[in-house]
Amino acid sequence: MDTAATNGAPADAGPPPAPYGDGPPPPSAGGRTAVRFAALLLLVPTVVIACRLADTDAVTPVPQLLAFLPWMLVPAGAALLIGLLARRRTFMAWAAAVLALTGWFVRPYDTGLTDDPPGPVVAQLEVLTSNVEFGGATEALVAAIRREQPDLVFVQECEYRCSEALEAEISRTDYPYRNVVEGGGATGSAILSKHPLRPARGVPSTLAMPGSVAVIAGRDVNVQLAHPLPPVPGGMSLWHRELGRLRSFAAAAEGTPTVLAGDFNATQDHAAFRRLLDAGALRDSATLAGAAHTPTWPASVRRPLGTQIDHVLVSEDFSVRDARFLDLPDTDHRSVLVRLALHDVR
């Protein structure tokens, strides 16, 4: 006997429809909570990457977060994982877009080492920049200078014991030319050179930023130390002002061989720093050497967790042979040592 027919049901009836259709069931209360948490997690990298796309540093805390842009990969990746587990397509698309854009900006930059040189090489030189953190790394810096023998040395936070040690322990025979601004705490700075130096105005600032003109292979080269105030909450206007003064220096120096080096308290993800580069047609030596994201601060961490705020910027008269990062004890910065070639572009 046909039981289905007897009970009044069609003989070809299929299984009853799923109560929620063919798609995934709605998320549980726990799932909704997880997605809300992921949305909050994704909000920060979304704002940061939007400001990066808009070419603006915005306001605190965006400038501080832009310094650590690679860190935004962590919350964006976690949010994407939660979205995948919850099967929320719109949310997954949002998280994937933020993750992809962040990855694009933190990718290794193209190196310029293979560029055709702008003219014949007239001099080879090495440049060292080092923030010795209130003079704490002075002894290690002296040892590094003696060992590496760079042609130009830029020292930030060179307080009194640092300037005294440079005078007493770095031979005037090796470095006869100097521009030292003594000061306590973080205010002191120094430029040491194997090449003749002439006085230059420097850049007005809270922390000393001296400048000189070096005569290298018969050519005048602007050498300027950089140490603007950091972008701390409440100090953003000073950070912008002092980076703006460095930008004005770079613009005025365009067309002249220039080395601008030091602790910029800014990365290539800061719009203010990129405008400084553009103003003087300057290039970052580490970028040209393929090491744009190698961290220099804090010295205790390594890529991708740190940030690169110490730079050696050069005009197009220079090509970069290589860049190295030196770990000195008793400072929170890694030093940057670059090998350059000066070309005759006249």
Percent of the chain predicted with pLDDT > 70: 88
263 pLDDT higher than 80: yes
CATH fold of 121-343? Deoxyribonuclease I; Chain A (3.60.10)
Cα distance between the two ends of the chain: 105
- The residue among 161 and 306 whose pLDDT is bigger is 161
On average, the pLDDT of the chain sits at 91
> What does the block give as tokens for 137?
């790394």
What local confidence, expressed as pLDDT, does residue 216 receive?
Answer: 98
CB-CB contact of 84 with 31 (8 Å): no
**3-class SS letters over 19-53:** CCCCCCCCCCHHHHHHHHHHHHHHHHHHHHHHHHH
Burial of 330 (0-12, 13-18, 19+ CB in 10 A): middle
pTM here is: 0.88
18 pLDDT higher than 60: no
Confidence of residue 4 (pLDDT cuts 50, 70, 90): very low
What local confidence, expressed as pLDDT, does residue 28 receive?
Answer: 64
- The residue among 293 and 159 whose pLDDT is bigger is 159
Q: Which of 41, 52, 104 is nearest to 267 (CA)?
A: 52
CB-CB contact of 24 with 231 (8 Å): no
Q: Which residues contact 126 (CB under 8 A, 6 or more apart)?
A: 148, 149, 150, 151, 152, 337, 338, 339, 340
138-141 CB contacts, 8 Å cutoff, 24+ apart: 138/162, 138/165, 138/166, 139/165, 139/330, 140/328, 140/329, 140/330, 140/331, 141/328, 141/335
Averaged pLDDT, 326-342: 97
Question: What are the boundaries of each domain within the chain?
Answer: 29-105, 121-343
Give pLDDT tens digits for 82-128. 999 988 999 999 999 999 999 999 887 656 565 667 789 999 999 99
Q: How far apart are CA 72 and CA 59, in angstroms?
A: 17
Q: How far apart are CA 259 and CA 272, in angstroms?
A: 19
Helices (H), the chain: 3-6, 29-53, 62-66, 73-86, 89-105, 138-148, 160-169, 236-253, 271-279, 285-288
Give pLDDT tens digits for 276-331. 999 999 999 999 998 988 999 999 887 777 899 999 999 999 999 999 999 999 99
258 pLDDT higher than 60: yes
1 pLDDT higher than 60: no
50 pLDDT higher than 50: yes
Residues in the chain: 346
What local confidence, expressed as pLDDT, does residue 346 receive?
Answer: 74
Confidence of residue 5 (pLDDT cuts 50, 70, 90): very low
Confidence of residue 79 (pLDDT cuts 50, 70, 90): very high
Give pLDDT tens digits for 163-200. 999 999 999 999 999 999 999 999 999 999 999 999 99
CB-CB contact of 35 with 82 (8 Å): yes
49 pLDDT higher than 60: yes
Helices (H), 87-234: 89-105, 138-148, 160-169
Per-residue CA distances from 276 to 62, 253, 272 (Å):
19, 12, 6
